[in-house]
Chain A
């Protein structure tokens, strides 16, 4: 019986290294998401401070335009909402993951 050349198993089946690489990309994905969330929180803080400053100036009758105050407070509000939604989605994704049966 002639020998049939089966290619080596390792050449046919992909190695299991992809799981490791997948994990590392997922991990680096997680890491950059954390940085992203942190940036978001910094922005929220900055926007809220800006809005508070302008509101204080408004209350004291100092040099400020009413439109600037309203726009800054809207921006702070929207930035805050955006960050909250991002957090919600992250938590939801985590809970989704936890619910998966192994």
Chain B
């Protein structure tokens, strides 16, 4: 019985991505004065949501590993970086705008998933 729709899975993945992005932004801003530090970024693999499933024609066939909770995002070095003369590539203004964007994104995701859970609860309780 599949209680939780694909939307909820998508929201979960997005929340995990936003969490990692927040940590990366914190790390970048913490190292804004560190010489030779290159700014980091997070990639978000949208295609891996639930799409890849092993096609089993026999019960002994093995499943692909289920998408684990932090599995979809990886941390890379920002490629467009311009360095200042100490080798540091953190653009503090860009990081601050990404911080604000990420915060709003995260709040929106939490609102949505909370709304979905609440509506599920209402359906189950039959409006009582």
A residues touching B (Cβ–Cβ < 8 Å)?
36, 39-40, 43, 65, 67-68, 71, 74-75, 77-79, 81-82, 85
Contact = CB atoms under 8 A, between A and B. Distances in A.
Interface of B: 1, 3-4, 12, 15-16, 19, 69-70, 110, 113, 117, 120-121, 124-126
Interface centre among A77, A78, A79 (most CB of B within 10 A): A78
9 contacts: A65-B70, A71-B15, A77-B121, A78-B4, A78-B120, A81-B121, A81-B125, A85-B124, A85-B125
A57 to B, nearest CB: 12
Contacts of A75: 3-4
Contacts of B125: 81, 85
B12 A43 contact: no
Contacts of A74: 117
Instruction: Give 7 nearest A-B pairs by CB, closest first.
Output: A67-B15, A74-B117, A81-B124, A65-B19, A82-B124, A78-B120, A85-B124
